[in-house]
Structure 1
Amino acid sequence: MSAFSRKVAELTGTAEERIERLAGGDLSEVLLVPRGDGRAAVAKPAIGGAEAAMLRSIAAAGVPAPLVEAEYEGILLLDFVANDGIFSPAAWREIGSALHRLHARAGESYGWPVDYRLGTVELSNRPQSDWPRFWAEHRLVSTASVLDRPWRERVEALAEQVAELLPASPPPAHLHGDLWSGNILVAGGQLAALIDPACYHGHSEVDLAMVALFDTPPDEFWESYGPLDEGWEERRPLYQLFPALVHLRLFGPSYAGMVDRLLGEYGC
């Protein structure tokens, strides 16, 4: 077992051999910890209290999220949420309506009270009133800044066009920020919880673009979410570029083709 699992065992008073590693957890170690009362908890590294606050904020919007049990010495303990992984049309319909509720919880500006990170990718959430500038600087250029020069130059060229491609001041929706099926738990045809958030306030189309990048939500999802603003299809590749760049940084050249395709949508 790892140093993290030993620390979790000590904190929770659980025998280390009873702790299991959960599937997934691409960016950090995630453990299943049985408790004495028959329940189970999920233990994962804490990022300065930010994830706990994000999960509470999602729940406050009326969207299912794991309950935060405790946070101590860099360990975040959450209630375990059972799921069957079956994304039925009924489940997608509920996901769509829940996401609409989350996005309706608007902020006063774009960003979040604290910065965050996805693995080794640092995310600046410094508040901005100019949405295209936030997206260009804090999501595209900053994420590409450590990539090879050809990637950086292509992203920078696209960043110069962003003000012409995105609305200047869409409602600052409450975003999940890392929305794909791996971060959506479903059970019995219902949404069980949204997990692993990277929340900030921004254009609602950001979450919708990401969930469509790695999954193919059926009509039920789009119908329950509700109508989208004109031009959303033209904006989608620009919003999908950010998670593609993150994956290129974290997981390597297998995502180069995706980034190349999305940049090519705008002639960059």
Structure 2
Amino acid sequence: MSVFARRVAALTGAPEERLQRLAGGDLSEVLLLRRGDGRCTVAKGGPAVATEAAMLRTLAAAGVPTPLVEGEHEGVLLLQHIDNDGVFSPLAWADIGAATRELHAVTGESYGWSVDYALGSVALDNRQRSDWPGFWAEQRLLATARVLDRPWRERVERLAKRLGDLLPPDPPLSLLHGDLWSGNILVRDGQLAALVDPACYHGHSEVDLAMVTLFDAPPPEFQEAYGSLEPGWGERRDVYQLFPAFVHLRLFGTGYAGMVERLMDRLGA
């Protein structure tokens, strides 16, 4: 039994045989706890469980399906287990599109978030500000590329100087999931069951749309349910996808170098 599993067992009083490691959990250990009354609970570890719990409550308040937070204590987050059949049918994608539109209709007062947090070992600077191109340039692209090899850093620095021409100065301050890809979307019976693993902040709604199309190719039903986009979306999508590409390069290695190169080439960086 791992250290985290022992902590969960001590916290919940669950015997070892009721704990099962779940697939996924690239950035933190995730366990399934089978309770004596037949209910199942997901236990996640990490240094910022209170932050994640607050984000899940924020998503729920926005009307988006999320797991119920059952408890948070000493680096353990206990969440309602959501059944997931993993079938991303056109009907399910339409439901995801409608829920994403509802999420983005909730707005804030500044770009960013009230606290900083990290995606694994990649710390995110969420200082709130009113300048969207500046936020994306300084607190997402430049900050994330700071530890990469010098040629990449120099290319990002050149690109950052052009963001005022590529991005809108003050798009609506939409509530973002922040890591919206199919691995963080649970579906069941042709519907969205829950969004999980949020990395919330307020920003341009196209950030979430760029992320959901980075690893997946949603069918037209998704876009139809979400609604039309402003002209220039294609080029902005490359700018927004560059940030998660950098994050994946840092977390998972050079297998993502080609993605970074392709995006920067398309942006003329």
**TM-score bracket for this pair, using the shorter chain length:** over 0.9
Q: Unaligned 5+ residue runs, structure 1? A: none
2:4 aligns to what?
4
**Alpha-carbon distance in structure 2 between the residues aligned to 1:222 and 1:113:** 30
2:36 aligns to what?
36
Q: State TM-score, norm by structure 1.
A: 0.99
1:78 aligns to what?
79
**1:201-221 C-alpha deviation (Å, 9 max, x unpaired):** 000000000100110000000
Q: Unaligned 5+ residue runs, structure 2? A: none
Structure 2 residue matching 1:213: 3-state secondary structure: coil
Q: How many residues align?
A: 268
Is the Cα–Cα contact under 8 Å of residues 103 and 175 in structure 2 kept in the other structure?
A: yes
| Structure 1 stretches of 4+ moved >2 Å | none
2:179 aligns to what?
178
Q: CA deviation at 1:230?
A: 1.3
**Alpha-carbon distance in structure 2 between the residues aligned to 1:14 and 1:113:** 35
**1:154-203 C-alpha deviation (Å, 9 max, x unpaired):** 11111111111100000010000001000000001010000000000000
1:229 aligns to what?
230
Structural mapping, 1:119-268, within 5 Å: 119-268=120-269
Q: CA deviation at 1:48?
A: 4.9
1:26 aligns to what?
26
Q: CA deviation at 1:36?
A: 2.1
**1:115-152 C-alpha deviation (Å, 9 max, x unpaired):** 11100000111101000000001110000111111111
**Alpha-carbon distance in structure 2 between the residues aligned to 1:6 and 1:213:** 37
Q: For structure 1, which segment, 41-50 or 245-254, has the greater mean C-alpha deviation from structure 2 after superposition?
A: 41-50
Structure 2 residue matching 1:170: 3-state secondary structure: coil
Q: Percent identity of the aligned residues?
A: 69
Q: CA deviation at 1:106?
A: 0.4
**Alpha-carbon distance in structure 2 between the residues aligned to 1:158 and 1:62:** 36
Q: Which amino acid aligns with 1:63?
A: V
Q: CA deviation at 1:17?
A: 2.5
1:114 aligns to what?
115
Q: Which amino acid aligns with 1:28?
A: S
**1:85-114 C-alpha deviation (Å, 9 max, x unpaired):** 000000000000000000000001101111
Structural mapping, 1:91-110, within 5 Å: 91-110=92-111
**Alpha-carbon distance in structure 1 between the residues aligned to 2:49 and 2:96:** 28
Distance 1:30-1:152 versus aligned 2 partners, 3 A rule:
same
Q: Which amino acid aligns with 1:87?
A: F
Q: For structure 1, which segment, 29-38 or 192-201, has the greater mean C-alpha deviation from structure 2 after superposition?
A: 29-38
Q: State TM-score, norm by structure 2.
A: 0.98
